[in-house]
Amino acid sequence: AQSVSQHNHHVILSEAASLELGCNYSYGGTVNLFWYVQYPGQHLQLLLKYFSGDPLVKGIKGFEAEFIKSKFSFNLRKPSVQWSDTAEYFCAVHDDNTDKLIFGTGTRLQVFP
């Protein structure tokens, strides 16, 4: 069964700093990978997803993620964060075999002006 690890539980940055949030998944066949964001008091929103093709995926709000198959990783990046990026970020993997969307524990990002 798939599992997802997010090693950074809480990240604190100043505005304009660069961001990289780690996500590793366990191997289990064909993977579909997602990053979701949850702003305070709001619903989960899809930031970006990877199904196949170019391993560098561009998402909304200037986010991108790179799928590195050899490292079983799908790290989220943003070159320059803003205060409005303060939120919780969840990595998720869809397991085609079980048809389940499995989430990591989430990373809480706080950006200070």
The verdict on 102 binding other proteins (CB under 8 A) reads yes
Within 13 Å, how many C-alpha atoms sit on residue 70's CB side?
0
Sole window of 13-21, 60-68, 74-82, 95-103 interacting with other proteins (rule: CB under 8 A): 95-103
The verdict on 4 binding other proteins (CB under 8 A) reads yes
For residues 109 and 13, is the Cβ–Cβ distance under 8 A?
A: yes
Among residue numbers 33 through 72, which ones bind other proteins (CB under 8 A)? Answer: 34, 36, 42-46, 49, 51
The verdict on 76 binding other proteins (CB under 8 A) reads no
Query: Which among 85, 89, 86 has a CA at the least distance from the CA of 74?
Result: 89
